[in-house]
Amino acid sequence: MSEDLKPCPFCGKTPTIERDGGSWGYTEPTVFIECCNGIKIKAFTQAYNGEKRKYDNVIVKATLTVINKWNKRSDS
C-alpha cells in the first residue's frame, strides 16, 4: 500500500500515519494522520467480527481513506 502523503500545509513537514487497534467490544480501530503541529485527520473503520483477515481489511480501507482525505485537502 502506498503511503505517499503531501507535506503539512502549515509547517511543510511530512505527517505520520498512526493506527489505533481499538478496544475489543468498546471502540473500533481508527487510523489517523497527524502533523507535528497537532493537525489531525481521522478515519474510523467499519465493524469487524474478530477475524484477523477482516480486521486487516478494514484497517487497509481506513488507511486509504485517510490518505485520500489528507492529500485532497485544500492548500490555500
* Domain contains 57: yes
Rounded Cα distance between 60 and 58, Å, is: 5
Q: How many residues does the chain have?
A: 76
Domain for residue 16, yes or no? no
48 pLDDT band (50/70/90 cuts)?
low
Domain extent for 55: 22-72
Percent of the chain with pLDDT over 90: 3
- This prediction's pTM: 0.71
C-alpha 68/C-alpha 5 separation (Å) is 9
- 8-state DSSP, 16: E
Residue 8 has pLDDT above 70, yes or no: yes
Q: Count up the domains in the chain and report the number.
A: 1
Any domain includes 66: yes
Of 10, 70, 63, nearest to 36 by C-alpha is: 10
Residue 58's pLDDT band (cuts 50, 70, 90): confident
